[in-house]
Amino acid sequence: MVFVLFLQIDGLPTELETVCSQCLHMNAKIQVLREELLFMTGMQKKCEKLEKNNRKQKQNIVNLKSHIEMNMTENSQVEQYKHEIEERARQELVEKLKEVNMVLQPFSVSPTDFLILAQDCGSR
């Protein structure tokens, strides 16, 4: 029995060395996994930030499209009002010219009357 214990004790340093080697190997694996986890965590944060920016940009596009549509509607209304105002101004001008013609008509001189008046003025 003592002999068996000596054999077991004799094998312990080798077993200890094997276990220590396995621990070192596992520690190296753990370090690699930690570095990978750190890298992936950083990438996840960047990805989340990009997704957030993407959502904001999409909302900005929706807002800009809405503003463009509103401006187009306002612009077409402005053009319509402009045409209406120009037409009203044109009609008012025609009416004023008619009034002026009505006022000036009694004073108008025909071309023959004008020649006679011009001759009379020239002979004096």
What total number of domains does the chain contain? Answer: 1
- Quick one: pLDDT at residue 4? 67
- Quick one: pLDDT at residue 27? 97
Q: In this structure, is residue 20 part of a structural domain?
A: yes
Q: Containing domain of residue 79, as a range?
A: 2-106
- Quick one: pLDDT at residue 14? 86
DSSP-derived secondary structure letter, 105: G
Token pair of 79, please?
């053009």
- How far apart, in whole angstroms, are the C-alpha atoms of residue 116 and residue 119? 5
Positions of E strands within 17-89: none
- Quick one: pLDDT at residue 60? 98
pLDDT in tens, 60-93: 999 999 999 999 989 899 999 999 999 999 999 9
Token pair of 110, please?
């025909």
Each residue's pLDDT, cut to its tens digit, for the chain (124 residues) gives 766 666 677 777 888 899 999 999 999 999 999 999 999 999 999 999 999 999 999 999 999 999 999 999 898 999 999 999 999 999 999 999 998 888 877 777 676 766 776 777 766 6
Q: What's the N-to-C CA distance of the chain in angstroms?
A: 169
Compute φ and ψ for 110, nearest 5 degrees.
-75, 160
- Quick one: pLDDT at residue 12? 78
Contact 109, 117 (CB under 8 A): yes
Q: In this structure, is residue 123 part of a structural domain?
A: no
- List C-alpha distances in Å: 108 to 58, 66, 111, 118, 119: 72, 61, 10, 15, 18
